[in-house]
Structure 1
């Protein structure tokens, strides 16, 4: 259920990223209680009943009175661009209560945090919570294009100065070090291989980060991933019937999950390569139901007419979906 909350403040974090401070009335305090690392679902106008998107909370329930989400513009991002262009202090937004499982089980554990770009948003909530309400030591590796792209730069510097014995921040800037590579990141992460790891960022960063963690010796079961592209479509959970390798699988499809991720997590072996909507390796046929493609640079109109979709970019838009790889 969506609730209307007032925007108390809008903070320009970088030229492309705005934080919205949201006031929660006492009557909704319980509904909007949250854990560090969770997200809110925002509905923005689109001329067709509203468009819903997920944005992670950068605030901490242990340090912040109000909620805060941070929104970064993305190319052709209808929701993110509308928010950055139109939302001002005093505005009202429609939001669903907090959700998500990208949160540590204990604030006393030592954690290894990896963020790319706007992926710092939920990680920031975790950092503030651990430092304020726990005993854990934190190491953050934060990757960006350049220094001007670093969200929360001043806040991170302040936290590091105040908690030198517990917070270490490693900035990776592409303009000085090149794009992150699994081996170079892995060497930086090796001293922290015994920690739980939390990874958030765009898909290319997540892929490299997971390989780097493996290279460093971090056990797969200790790695927690939250992809955050600011364009995740939210709908109700769905049921997927998947025909693959001569077998039919019935799967629960959680809201906002990409089809390829769903299949991999279910232990299936679908074809894929780039995971960015660029190569077409993961293409499959949609024979029933509706999905939304988050990105596509390979399929043409005739492909869509024949029912083809990209599993790496497809999220559910109806209660039941059938896809056929055979």
Structure 2
């Protein structure tokens, strides 16, 4: 899979006493990064620490209070490294973005917000990898988590192509300068400022990136920027299969809403699924009315998922035996589907005996 998706959705949930999914976490730090960007940190209770362990590049979903709809749910990339305490995300306000403006204007230390545990696939396989990171604007947030983690390793090196409107727009500018001094040649940062050089072209990027064409690319930002990176990488001779992207899509459902319960009628004609996950094997009844994620969560299994709409890829697994109705497959590439990969939050049984591997 070559893409990762951050998602957002408006949620109408007016009953705060409902048995909602997620955890209510306390804000323990609020740090202004630029005039338009703020880092918000959450303390994680000891009892929930295992569920909030994360890989660099992952995201969390936050329920942002709304007087009109109860709240709106937004997914924000984690900008802190796994070695740092708690979980921190960095939010950049957008002109018409209700949630980003509310968070930047209203959140204070001590506030409590509902959050879903970390999820996502936009993460390097090894913290000691040599990587080429490419970001525009707020796309720096997952890249910063990856950058911090790789530099903490013994040998990993980072080349970072970072585009912004002007110098005042650079999120984490001071920290990047400090890290450059501390790690020397292990960190190379190319700041591209539109106000001084115009928007970068594929040719601009290819000329700069040629020295790093043996590295895997992680890119995050607006779609035109990421396409420019793909085109420039191809021109520079990169293996374009090794380009990981994070994309932005909208949702229509409610990731905090409790999952539908089983009924006697649905269980009466259920199929059977064997699920292999985290070196454990589970034998489960799988009603045709429910997705695989529904079945696993109801069975008390620690299940990877986030959006529940087939868009984030967090619940990707492989169909080893049997048949399923795929449902939506937005987060999968055609080659993924051909190789037997499915989305657990969408798949429903189409045969009586099924085997799934995570």
TM-score between both structures, scaled by the size of structure 2: 0.66
Match of 2:226 in 1: 206
**Residue 140 (1) aligns with residue 211 (2):** no
**Residue 53 (1) aligns with residue 124 (2):** no
Of the three residues 99, 104, 109, the one matched with 2:129 is 109
CA distance in 1, matches of 2:141, 2:248: 9
Matched length: 253
Alignment of 1:1-326 (within 5 A): 1-46=21-66, 47-62=68-83, 64-227=84-247, 235=255, 236-238=307-309, 251-253=326-328, 265-266=333-334
Is residue 119–residue 228 contact of structure 1 (8 Å, CA) maintained in 2? no
SS at match of 1:45: strand
Q: CA deviation at 1:182?
A: 0.6
Post-superposition Cα deviations, 1:150-194, rounded to whole Å, max 9, x if no partner, equal 000011001110001211000000011101111111111111111
Is residue 137–residue 166 contact of structure 1 (8 Å, CA) maintained in 2? yes
Return 5+ residue gaps in structure 1 as ranges.
241-249, 268-317, 321-326
Q: CA deviation at 1:51?
A: 1.1
CA distance in 2, matches of 1:111, 1:9: 30
Is residue 138–residue 166 contact of structure 1 (8 Å, CA) maintained in 2? yes
Post-superposition Cα deviations, 1:186-222, rounded to whole Å, max 9, x if no partner, equal 1111111110110011212111111111111111211
Return 5+ residue gaps in structure 2 as ranges.
1-20, 256-306, 312-324, 336-344, 348-358
SS at match of 1:210: helix
Higher-RCO chain (CA-CA 8 Å, sequence separation at least 6): 2
CA distance in 2, matches of 1:227, 1:12: 25
Post-superposition Cα deviations, 1:63-93, rounded to whole Å, max 9, x if no partner, equal x112110000112111111111111111111
Is residue 119–residue 227 contact of structure 1 (8 Å, CA) maintained in 2? no
**RMSD of aligned alpha carbons:** 2.4
Q: Which of 1 and 2 has greater Rg? A: 2
